[in-house]
Amino acid sequence: MGIEFVRHKKGWQGIPLHEKKIIKKSILDLSDNTKDRRDALSILFEKYNLYMGGRYKPSSQTCGSCVSNVVNTFKAQIEKENG
């Protein structure tokens, strides 16, 4: 018995539908003033690192350009998918 690694196909096309729904909800939560942005950012950074090949550390969630990159990347992919 060895260690088994789970490999995910990188890029938007490799993200399962249920995960895309979580990403879309997190994007919406960012603009909702009644929601905690930290939770949404945590989810988005986790998914970005897992599926989009990112290597952001948790502290990157306080970096404006890092947040902008992650959010804008997902927004662009969602817009492309929706047409």
pLDDT value of position 82: 87
Q: What is the pLDDT of residues 10-65, one digit of tens each?
A: 899 999 999 999 999 999 999 998 988 999 999 999 999 999 999 999 999 999 99
3 state DSSP class of 8: coil
The residues near 51 (Cβ < 8 Å, ≥ 6 apart) are 8, 9, 10, 11, 12, 14, 15, 19
Looking at residue 71, what is its pLDDT? 97
Is the pLDDT reported for residue 83 higher than 90? no
Sorted by sequence, the CB contacts under 8 Å of residue 76 that are 6+ apart come out as: none
- The answer to whether the CB of 69 falls within 8 A of the CB of 60 is no
The structure's pTM equals 0.86
For residue 66, what pLDDT band results from cuts at 50, 70 and 90?
very high
